Chains A and B, each alone.
Chain A
Amino acid sequence: MNTFNEQELRATALNVREHIVRMSTDGGCFTGASLSAVDLIVYLYSEFLNVNADNLTDPNRDYLFLSKGHDVPALYGTFAELGLLDKTRLNNHLSITDHIYWHPNTHIPGIEFHSGSLGHLPSVAIGVAMDIKISGGSNKVVCILGDGELNEGTCWEAMLVANAYKLDNLIFVVDRNHFQANVRTEDLIPLEPLADKFAAFGAAVKRINGHDFTALHETFNAYPFEEGKVNVVIADTVRGKGLPSIQERADRWFCNFNADEIEQLLLELHSQQATQLTSETLVVR
């Protein structure tokens, strides 16, 4: 297994979390859902994917599809930290003059496909993985799914098709933060035993702590997990990870904080001492 600098990844992830907090005002964003995906996204772009500022249109690059979509602040932040996106553009969140809004779009170089309507990108990722097989490439295709997103039937159609076509160059990563918009997944549409479900569909499945860089490194270094099988990583994560005051809170999914709260939350990221939040909570999707 190749080496990696865990400390550096942690520092990058903390910076990305700061970017997310700063985007959680003046209209707000999906803060909780973005924070759960940060470590995954930072790991994948830093260590696993062959994607950089110079190869964004190279047909031999690796692909990442962000199907969950509303976690795009984590992607904007990661792109800014890794030099794919000018950091000053993060200040343009929701501005009419830029394209930094609540869901991914291809005006941002490095974003492979637009998303926001759930359950679309598993099939788009399959198409890309199929072409790589047909044309004999060795690129990897990663598709990040939300756990709530797995309610959508197209996710399971995609599993059937990926199995039928033996797409072992495709990795579905589930950001298993145990929440859908307003409720815990297991209280609404239970997903467990999730690993068994994917295995029954023919996938090679690994389940890990999605905030543990060592576990991420071991897991992705084991790619491809099994010849001829689509890969699935269930990454157990915490919604709102890094901000104790919103962690695991059903009413803190989409957040639009006031300026004082933003300052407090930036401190909270470092101290891990929960802030007293005063802004209204939102029950939305």
Chain B
Amino acid sequence: MTYEQLLTETALANEQVIVMTAENRALVRNLPGILGKRFIDTGITEQTMIGAAAGLALRGRIPVVHALAAFLTMRAFEFVRTDLGISGLPAKLSGFIPGLLSDGNGPTHQAIEDVAIMRGIPNVTVFAPADEDDLVKMLPQIWQSAQPAYTRINTRQTGYTHAPFVLGKAEVIAEGTDVTILTYGLLFEQALVALEILQSEGLSVGLINMRSLKPVDEQAILTASAQSKLVVTLEDHFVTGGLYTIVAEVLLKHQTTANVLPIALNNKWFKPALLPHVLQHEGFTGKQIAERILGYKTAHHQPEILTPEFSE
């Protein structure tokens, strides 16, 4: 199932669902014809779209709102915070090409602080699926919840079959005593590669797909920190405000600590190019991640990374 098929089914089953976009139609190509008046394209007006979503939600509708993640979360930030955050109205934000997925667009289109700013808004929940299978398993609960939600849309295929989603719970892929990688979104694909390399180097390795970043699975973080000598937070996000910060907050809250290695974008925008080259250049391929954890080079092979079908 694709994102668009799921959204179509959901909207046809529930008359209250309204599909909105600020002229970003990549995920909703066929919906204008199917939904008629329940498809609203406000043009390139992210702020007005969010305000209108609040108005629709005020009347009992469930708006599923689309734009590029950078403009949805940052151009419209104060509208999300004030119109959706304060009211707690259940608009559902779908941010397209978040993180490294904006590949060749450049810093203007890089949503790599979106987790930090969205999770800082009271009432707003934040989700980051690992791939398309994860995405379609997560969205029904996200859309049914009574709260505003921001989802980092990720339609990559990894071939991994995910466990059923429980809102607020992480997905434990593997458990290990030497190192546990905590990750979300696009980099799950590379974490699977890293997992295999680290295991073949003789380490006991855990891997957790965080999925729900707010509410976050505190127990999963605490267990991994207690079980493993090293915890790695792996994210295509600035190191500030994302998973590394979430882990720090959870550990402090429970008056404990851990040996944590953050692999993230450290206070810089990434070099724009096609995705496989970006991953390599920024040190986010599975092989590079594994070698960074190991502290030495290996002879392992990095599997080919597919360029997205379209990138904007």
A residues at B contact (CB < 8 Å): 27, 69, 94-96, 99, 101-103, 105, 114-119, 148-149, 151-153, 180-183, 188-189, 254, 256, 282-285
Contact = CB atoms under 8 A, between A and B. Distances in A.
Contact of A285 (B26, B47, B108, B272): B26
9 contacts: A27-B104, A94-B273, A94-B274, A95-B277, A103-B106, A149-B44, A151-B44, A180-B23, A285-B24
Contact of A153 (B24, B29, B48): B48
Given A96-B271, A148-B43, A116 B105 contact: yes
Interface residues on B, range: 20 to 34
Contacts of B25: 181-182, 283-285
Contacts of A256: 310
A2 to B, nearest CB: 37
Most buried by B among A27, A183, A188, A189: A27
A285 B310 CA distance: 10
B108 A117 contact: yes
Contacts of A95: 273, 277
B281 interface: yes
Given A101-B105, A117-B71, A188 B41 contact: yes
B107 interface: yes
Interface in B74-108: 75, 104-108
Interface string B105-116: 111110000000
Interface of B: 23-26, 29, 41-45, 47-48, 68, 70-71, 75, 104-109, 271-274, 277-278, 280-281, 307, 310-312
A117 B111 CA distance: 12
**Chain A contact surface mostly:** loop
Contacts of B70: 117
B109 A283 contact: no
Given A117-B108, A189-B43, A151 B23 contact: yes
A254 B312 contact: yes
A96 B281 contact: yes
A116 to B, nearest CB: 3
Given A96-B278, A189-B43, A285-B26, A114 B310 contact: no
Contact of A102 (B43, B45, B48, B312): B312
Q: Which 6 pairs of residues, A with B, have the shortest CB-CB distance?
A: A116-B108, A189-B43, A151-B43, A151-B44, A96-B273, A101-B272
Given A94-B272, A117-B108, 9 more contacts: A94-B273, A96-B271, A153-B45, A180-B43, A180-B44, A182-B25, A189-B42, A189-B45, A284-B310
Nearest to A101: B272
Nearest to A253: B312
Nearest to A282: B310
Contacts of B106: 101-103, 105, 114, 116
A256 B312 CA distance: 12
Contact of A103 (B29, B68, B75, B109): B109
A57 to B, nearest CB: 22
B37 to A, nearest CB: 15
